[in-house]
Structure 1
Amino acid sequence: MPPSINVLVVDDIEQNLLATEALLARPGLNILKASSGEQALEILLVQEVALALIDVQMPQMDGFELAELIRGNSRTRSIPLIFLTAATGEPQRSFQGYQAGAVDFLYKPIDSAILRSKVEVFVELYAQRKQISHQLEELRQALQVNEMFMAVLGHDLRTPLSAVMNGAELILQLSADPKVNAAAERIRSSSLRMEKMVSQLLDVTRLRSGKLRLELQPASYEEVGRRIIEEFAHTDRIRMECQGDMQGMFDVDRIGQVLANLVGNALQHGDPEGPIRIAMDGSRGSHVLIRIRNRGSMAAEALARIFEPFQTGSQEEQSVGLGLGLYIVKRFVEAHGGSVSMTSTEEQGTTFEISLPRNA
């Protein structure tokens, strides 16, 4: 059974409090009564309410003064306030009431049907907010457990995976049998692809949990780019040109991973016969601009989601990766204070453009 929802009624006349309580009473609704502003504030210190019905004409502290105190407290400022007043035809008082935070005015004698209807609306809104808040908390906890699971899984997978990769390397070194070597090469290739997936899962876990930390150091973007190119087997297809000052302050490993992801993406999904061009421009002073271009294009409907996690360009590509590479690229670049964009047309091919501050 869901907990009762509180509604606060503030009036200095006891008969009015009892009449309002009787009018609004129903299962699931708890009417809290206060005969003064001070008593109302004491109740609000310990109780959470969906709505407050406040009489305007009260001695010592009137309804407007009480409303200002309620609005001035971070714990109570979001409570909807409805003023009850016997004064009619005073626009100035209505204006004052809305300035104090009222959502509505009801004039005495109060129509019981109207009062019940208005109270039910705010009670329903309160119940919906609580339900949404509860669902968000459950979702947050589920995501936290999921991220913890992924981190543990990624960490524990690396130990047996390293053993498999080392075993494949050892077979390639000791065996002269072409069939054995071919099998060992397939094992090594699959292990490398799996190791990349594990690394991407760990990166995504760090990103989503806010635990990514950049290790900034003075370095050369050009040197990082050339080192990444040397790691690929098809270096004859990759051409890099640099101009201007290539020095900066950045996380070498993360920017290296950004370049490796983009170059690897171009090699895998671009025109297999076309070159991959990397252009670095350090002549702009405060920023370094990096463009990576290859032949080949992507469907327009895929472009809008290309930097989202677990997105791939086609069904065929889903068999070779998790669709996390470009998501990680975007987040690493943004962590440096930069930006990344992509354009793709049949005439011009596909271009990734990265703008990075020289000193992250």
Structure 2
Amino acid sequence: MQAEHPTKLLIVDDLPENLQALNAIVRGEGREIFQAGSGEEALALLLQHDFAMAILDVQMPGMDGFELAELMRGTDRTRQIPIVFVTAAGKELNYSFKGYEAGAVDVLYKPLDARAVKGKVQVFVSLYEQREAVRRQVEALEEARREQERTLAQLNAAQTGLQRALAMRDEFMSMVSHEMRTPLNTLYLETQLRKMQLERGNMAAFGAEQLQRMVARDDRQIQSIIRLIDDMLDVSRIRSGKLSLRPGWVELSGLLRRLVQDLTPQAAIAGSSISLDAGTPVSGWWDEFRIEQIVVNLLTNALRYGAQKPVHVTLRVEPEQVRVEVRDEGAGIAPELQEKIFEPYERGAGNEAPSGLGLGLYISRELAQVHEGTLAVRSMAGEGAVFTLTLPRRDAPPA
């Protein structure tokens, strides 16, 4: 301990030979001796180091020992340092009284008794080292307490996270059951109806027009189930770091026209419409399937939460990037929810009960980031929301 934390002693005397003699008396293992030839030099050292004690010569030119002691007692940093005065003056000058009055713990007269000086120094050094050892132990205990608090906070956070994960798991399983039960129930009822018609021999129920409607209904329900499964698989790929792209040369304005055309019937059913502003053709190296997935998610959300008002799609072409904006005229998104909606299993409240697993925006943002792009939202209450997909333009496949 002493090698790591040497005990520092200060001796002050204007005569070099006295400093040398005092140094020889008080030096010892684990001690570091600092010497000053004046009160001014001593003050400079006192401001830089923590001393176990100070031995001051009383009679010095300029600032004497008593003045230096008064300054030390008036400063918080040096107030607690034990002071021992040494003087060559006779005892009849009553320096002892003045020294104790100045705050000294002892006054020694020259010629010094080396053994007495060593004994006194050893007492104060031992007291200092004990105090320092206690202080370090207290600091170590305080650090251990803080570390314990940090660990406890981490455990509490982990427990909260675990509880939230369990709640999310239960909610997720409930959502999956609900979302898959709807198309499966429809398929089951359709199957039972056909079985009943076959058992009754009612083959007229399976005419060309009726079969077309049956196949269309079956296809919609099957596609709903496939989308749910694909979303769950995408989340699994994202979390395992296995989500990859298959980039190809894509003409974006044509892709947007096709998607808007495909979703126009769905918009009509929802009492809405979709407009497109994508007059500037632009091509780049993107994964067409994944870009389509993002845009379909954004359009589906806009129709769901757009209050049956028109949805607008805009393609903006810039030198180094393209931006696809999907804007609705719904109720908007509160500021505190604008990042939360990109978390998995978060579902907004629109005109009807929320549907889906709440994975669309989460997957879409991850897909944008894998393209080295971004997906962001801006919204104000009562003014709808604008989702912006930004993609980098490249004339060659990404590395």
Shorter-chain TM-score: which interval? Answer: 0.5 to 0.7
| Letter of the structure 1 residue corresponding to residue 332 of structure 2 | M
Q: What is the Cα deviation at residue 118 of structure 1?
A: 0.9
Write out aligned runs for 1:322-333 (5 A): 322-333=357-368
CA distance in 2, matches of 1:141, 1:113: 41
Relative to structure 1, the CA distance from residue 180 to residue 346 in structure 2 (aligned partners, 3 Å threshold; closer, same or farther) is farther
Q: 1:340 aligns with which of 359, 375, 384?
A: 375
Larger Rg: 2
Q: Matches of 1:172 and 1:291 in 2, distance apart?
A: 44
Match of 1:121 in 2: 142
Runs (5+) with no aligned partner, structure 2? 8-29, 35-44, 51-127, 168-180, 198-204
Partner residue of 1:354? 389
Give the equivalent residue in structure 2 for 1:244. 280
Kindly report which structure 2 residues correspond to 1:258-277, keeping only aligned pairs within 5 A, or say none: 258-272=294-308, 274-277=309-312
Aligned pairs for 1:1-360 (under 5 A) are: 54-56=4-6, 89=45, 108=129, 110-127=131-148, 176=205, 189=220, 191-232=222-263, 233-234=265-266, 237-272=273-308, 274-282=309-317, 284-300=318-334, 303-304=337-338, 305-314=340-349, 319-345=354-380, 348-359=383-394
Equivalent residues of 1:289, 1:356 under 8 A apart: yes
SS in 1 for 2:278: strand
Distance verdict in 2 for CA 1:345–1:115, change over 3 Å: closer
Whether the 8 Å contact between 2:334 and 2:381 is mirrored in structure 1 is no
Q: Distance in 1 between matches of 2:381 and 2:262?
A: 29
Percent of aligned pairs sharing the same letter: 23
What is the aligned partner in structure 2 of residue 18 from structure 1? none
**Greater per-residue strand proportion:** 1
Deviations, residues 95-119 of structure 1 (Å, cap 9, x unaligned): xxxxxxxxxxxx6353443232112
Deviation digits for residues 209-245 of structure 1 (CA, Å, limit 9, x no counterpart): 3222222222111232233334433366222221334
> What is the aligned residue count?
270
Give the gaps of 5 or more residues in structure 1. 1-9, 13-53, 58-83, 95-106, 147-159
Q: Tell whether the 8 Å contact from 1:172 to 1:184 is kept in structure 2 after alignment.
A: no
**How far 1:248 sits from its partner (Å)?**
0.8
**Secondary structure of the structure 2 residue equivalent to 1:208:** helix
TM-score by length of 1: 0.56
Which piece of structure 1 moves more, 178-187 or 317-326? 178-187
Query: Does the Cα contact within 8 Å between 1:171 and 1:181 map onto a contact in 2?
Result: no
Secondary structure of the equivalent of 1:240?
Answer: strand
C-alpha displacement at 1:87, in angstroms? 6.1
Query: CA distance change for structure 1 residues 191 and 340 in 2, over 3 Å: closer, same or farther?
Result: same
User: Structure 1: which 4+ aligned runs deviate by more than 4 Å?
Assistant: 84-94, 126-146, 160-175, 177-191, 315-319, 345-348
Give 3-state SS (helix, strand or coil) of 1:355's partner: strand
Contact 1:239 1:276 in 2 (8 A): yes
1:259 deviation in Å? Answer: 0.2
- CA shift digits 1:154-192 (9 cap, x unpaired): xxxxxx999999989989999727999999987765554
Amino acid at match of 2:379: S
| TM-score, with length taken from structure 2 | 0.51
Cα distance, 1:339 vs structure 2: 2.1
Amino acid at match of 2:140: V
Report the 3-state secondary structure (helix = DSSP H, G, I; strand = E; otherwise coil) of the residue aligned with 1:352: strand
Change (3 A) 1:229 1:317: same
Query: Distance between the aligned counterparts of 1:276 and 1:135, measured in 2?
Result: 45
Contact in 2 for aligned 1:169/1:188 (Cα 8 Å): no
Deviations 1:12-57 (A, max 9, x none): 6xxxxxxxxxxxxxxxxxxxxxxxxxxxxxxxxxxxxxxxxx3358
| Contact 1:340–1:353 (8 Å) recurs in 2 | yes
SS of corresponding position for 2:377: strand
Q: Matched residue of 2:230: which SS?
A: helix
Following superposition, the deviation at residue 256 of structure 1 comes to 0.8
Change (3 A) 1:271 1:316: closer
Letter in 1 for 2:296: A
Aligned partners of 2:153, 2:145: CA distance in 1, in Å? 12
Distance change in 2, residues 1:216/1:328 (3 Å): same
User: Residues 55, 114 of structure 1: CA spacing in aligned structure 2 closer, same or farther, 3 A cutoff?
Assistant: closer
Other structure's SS at 1:201 match: helix
Shift of 1:252: 1.3
Measure how far apart 1:135 and its partner are: 8.2
